[in-house]
Structure formats: structure tokens, C-alpha cells
Amino acid sequence: MDFDTGSPIWAQLVAEFTRRIVTGEWPAGARIPAVRDIATEVGVNPNTAQRALAELERLELCRSERTAGRFVTDDPERIDALRTELARDAALAYIRTARGLGMTLPRARDLIEKGWRDHDHHDRTDDGGDDA
């Protein structure tokens, strides 16, 4: 994983682990890999990985079970609320950028719709489906 020097590594890990949860890479109720395994995977000190996981617990995105490890929350409403929050943040960033470029709302909306259709088309052709 590549890290940005502009923010703490543990905070970047929280963002990455949150992404894994909302995309289903770490499914609801699933056991999260051990701290040392995560640390090795992303190339950080185990204490840094531990801090990120502790923050996920504070955010109620995972829970610890004393002898079994950590598990992703099994609350679908919590996961969906987080997904919505992340999408809203991305939308606001897009709005700021588009407005800063002097783009109109109709043109910005057209770009989103075209990108959405192109992405759908790309997904269908990657999955072996027809591209009609």
C-alpha cells in the first residue's frame, strides 16, 4: 500500500479498512485478519495496524471477541450509512472541483451520467456479458 505523507498512516489505514468493509471485501460479520497479518500485508508496524483497528472499533465498524479475534460489524444499516457518507464526500469533492473549473451543473451531471454508463458497459464486457 502506498501512503501519503500528508496524514498519519493509521488514519489512512482506517480509510482503507473502511473501504474494504463497504465494498464487501471484508463482508459483514466476517473475521478480520490478525493484526500481524494485516501489518505484513500493508507494510506497517503492527502497532500502527492495531491503532487503525482500534479506531474501527470506536467507529462501531468492528467488534472484538476476546478469544476469537475481530469481526466486521454485522449491522447492514451501519455499513450502508458509511457507504452513503463516503459517496457523499466523494460527490462533494467532485462538486468543488467542477465548480472550480467553471463547469455548469448540467455539464457536470452529463459527465457523471456518461461515466456511470461507461463504467456499467465496462463491467458487462469484463464479466463476459454482452455489451448491448
What is the domain-level CATH number for residue 31? 1.10.10.10
Is pLDDT of 132 > 90?
no
CA dihedral 10, 16, 18, 22 (to 10 degrees): 180
> Are 21 and 65 within one domain?
yes
**What is the pLDDT of the chain when averaged over all its residues?**
92
> Are 30 and 41 within one domain?
yes
Amino acid at position 82, single letter: L
Residue 87 lies in a domain: yes
Q: 9-38: per-residue pLDDT in tens?
A: 999 999 999 999 999 999 999 999 999 999
Other CB atoms within a 10 A radius of the CB of residue 98 amount to 17
Is pLDDT of 130 > 60?
no
**pLDDT score of 127:** 59
Give the span between the Cα atoms of 45 and 108, in whole angstroms. 42
Average pLDDT over residues 71-95: 95
Residue 1 lies in a domain: no
- Joined together, the cell numbers standing for residue 97 give 472541483
Domain ranges, residue 31: 9-75
Residue 3 lies in a domain: no
pLDDT band at 129; cut points 50, 70, 90: low
Give the number of domains in the chain.
Answer: 2
> Are 65 and 108 within one domain?
no
> Are 59 and 109 within one domain?
no
